[in-house]
Structure 1
Amino acid sequence: MGFLTLAKQRCTTRGFTGAQIPKGDLNKILSAGRVAPTACNKQPQRIIVVQSEENILKIKKAYQTFGSKCIFIVCRDRRNELVRPYDNKCSGDLDIGIVCDHMMLAARELNIGSVMVGLFDPAIISNEFNLPDYIEASALLLIGYPDKGFLSPERHITERKEIDETVMYEKYIE
């Protein structure tokens, strides 16, 4: 399958069957995250794979899980990320976004759904999973088999802005 076809097929899944993901598929998804590019190859990502009901209940204290039985707590090691010297902007969240995107696309290629969540209480995750101070929970990536199938890849025709509304050449235009 071509990349654009795969990218169009990836969609947010908010409802999972609860079926277990085979270990081989899980490793393919995690391997896609492993090869994702990061700023200056710093690789600040640290991923906690959560599959036990006990630990899923801990995550539910911070955010809903939509029935997912496999959740990645995608963290960043703040000791190992690039900081832009001009304005001290940190690359960590960008890196985590790229890593998650690689894993979501890999999951979709395997007919596994996903949703990346940033709107959760990181203090709860940090406390429940005993994260050291320098490890920051940046995203939750919920994966599994969609209980209602995948959205149509043709939805982008009406749900996305036209390319000329978001892309400019040579200068910014209002």
Structure 2
Amino acid sequence: MQSFMETAMARRSIRRFESRPIEEDKLARILEAARWSPSWANTQCWEIVAVESPETLEKLGAELSPKNPATLAIAKGPLTLAICGEKEKSGYYKGTKSTKFGDWLMFDLGLLTQTICLAAHEEGLGSVIVGSFDHDKVNALLEIPDEYEVVALLPMGYPDHAPSPPKRRELSEFCHKEKFGRKG
């Protein structure tokens, strides 16, 4: 088993998968890890729709933005998770926004999605986070209630390639000490 640092540094965005299905026990471990993701005041504002039907996957893939490189990952992959958030739950207290940024669901779903991606990588699977698609059409296709929103699509499967790591900024380029602008 890899250390957390090895997992974090080795995970890549994968957009091409082998055709073999994901074993139920692997998916269960990934979703169990997701269950433990942190969230605003433990609101756990997420819902996940697991899509495996080839017909539905094709329809999901058709809702991506033109030329999106993840289209085939969704349309032809074995599984896509639709990451949904309950609106006005996270970041709210008694129905009132509690932060400058209002609804905190994007932050909570980002934490959840990262946990899923890292857990999938640890299980030998690849994934890519997709945010550019027709949200209204995907909501309708998956019969998402009005109080929820699909925020991301997460195709997942066995990678059919191993991309090299992208260039990363050095710590000295983005870490500040005490105040913004004080690098060190």
- Three-state SS of the structure 2 residue aligned to 1:116 is coil
Look up the match of 1:151.
163
Residue 172 of structure 2 is aligned to residue 171 of structure 1: no
Shift of 1:115: 0.2
Task: Spell out the pairing of 1:105-144 with structure 2 (5 A cutoff).
Answer: 105-144=118-157
What whole-Å deviation, never above 9, does each CA across 1:2-57 have from its counterpart, x for those lacking one?
11111011000011112100000010111111110011100011000000112112
Q: Distance in 1 between matches of 2:160 and 2:101?
A: 43
Gaps of 5+ in 1: none
Look up the match of 2:77.
68
Contact 1:9 1:151 in 2 (8 A): no
Q: Distance in 1 between matches of 2:35 and 2:154?
A: 15
Shift of 1:160: 0.4
- The alignment yields a C-alpha RMSD, in angstroms, of 1.5
Q: Distance in 2 between matches of 1:2 and 1:32?
A: 16
Task: Spell out the pairing of 1:19-58 with structure 2 (5 A cutoff).
Answer: 19-58=20-59
- Three-state SS of the structure 2 residue aligned to 1:117 is coil
Q: TM-score, normalised by structure 1?
A: 0.91
Contact 1:76 1:138 in 2 (8 A): yes
Residue 18 of structure 2 is aligned to residue 6 of structure 1: no
Q: Distance in 2 between matches of 1:24 and 1:130?
A: 26
Aligned length: 169
Q: Distance in 2 between matches of 1:65 and 1:27?
A: 24
- CA change 1:69–1:37 in 2 (3 A) is same
Contact 2:7 2:121 in 1 (8 A): yes
Runs of 4+ in 1 over 2 A off after TM superposition: 83-89
Q: TM-score, normalised by structure 2?
A: 0.86
Residue 27 of structure 2 is aligned to residue 15 of structure 1: no
Shift of 1:65: 3.8
Contact 2:37 2:112 in 1 (8 A): yes
Contact 1:61 1:124 in 2 (8 A): no
- CA change 1:65–1:76 in 2 (3 A) is farther
Question: Paired residue for 1:80, among 77, 82, 89?
Answer: 89
Q: Distance in 2 between matches of 1:65 and 1:118?
A: 15
Identity of aligned residues (%): 29
What whole-Å deviation, never above 9, does each CA across 1:105-152 have from its counterpart, x for those lacking one?
00001110000111111011011112111110000011001112x234
Q: Distance in 2 between matches of 1:101 and 1:122?
A: 20
Gaps of 5+ in 2: 65-70
